[in-house]
Amino acid sequence: MARKKLEVKEKEQQQQNDLSVLSDIVDSYAMHKDRANELDKLIKSESAEIKTLMNASFEEDENGKRAFDNGDYVVTLSTRDTSKMNEEKLIAYLKEHGLAKGIVKKKEYIDEKAFEDAVYNHKISDEQLIEMDTCKEYSTTQYLTYKKSGGK
């Protein structure tokens, strides 16, 4: 019986130790998470400021990039233009021009493969493709990268 009480007491002591460790880890985690959030805000702000200054101060090179070397780091600003089709407009266009069969599915989404095949096999004319350009959504995203400079 005394052995059983000792085991229970040891288990309770271990649970107390575990809870104490857990409490310390939670406090540490919360402190680090708060600091990380503050740093994320600062990084986003500084990144935006760097992009603004680089856009104002440097012309793009032949690869569409701007670069700055302060001796310690090289910062490169790249611009990527992307577009994607606005499915709703594209579906309406394809239906209006009798091109939806086999491309627009019951759920009314674009079967990308069937659309590509229709373009490739000239079932959709170049003029129609040009008209479909209004179905595209364009976006521009700038990416900022940095690396250690070779200077120092």
Which of 57, 87, 104 finishes a domain? 57
Q: From residue 135, how far is each of 19, 24, 86 by CA, in Å?
A: 58, 55, 5
Determine the pLDDT at residue 39. 96
**70 and 47 share one domain:** no
Residues 6+ apart with CB under 8 A from 128: 97, 99
- What's the longest Cα–Cα distance across the chain? 92
Which of 34, 57, 80 finishes a domain? 57
**72 and 53 share one domain:** no
**1 and 51 share one domain:** yes
Which of 29, 57, 85 finishes a domain? 57
Determine the pLDDT at residue 146. 64
**71 and 126 share one domain:** yes
Determine the pLDDT at residue 129. 85
**142 and 115 share one domain:** yes
**39 and 70 share one domain:** no
**82 and 38 share one domain:** no
Residue 11 sits in which domain range?
1-57
pTM for the full model? Answer: 0.50
Determine the pLDDT at residue 144. 66
Number of domains in the chain: 2
**80 and 139 share one domain:** yes
**48 and 69 share one domain:** no
Determine the pLDDT at residue 53. 96
Contact 82, 138 (CB under 8 A): yes
Q: Is pLDDT at 8 greater than 90 in this prediction?
A: no
**82 and 110 share one domain:** yes
Determine the pLDDT at residue 80. 84
Chain-centroid distance, C-alpha 108: 27
**51 and 88 share one domain:** no
15-40 residue pLDDT tens? 999 899 989 988 898 899 899 999 99
52-111 residue pLDDT tens? 999 999 999 988 899 999 999 999 999 888 888 888 899 999 999 999 888 988 777 889
**22 and 69 share one domain:** no
Determine the pLDDT at residue 151. 58
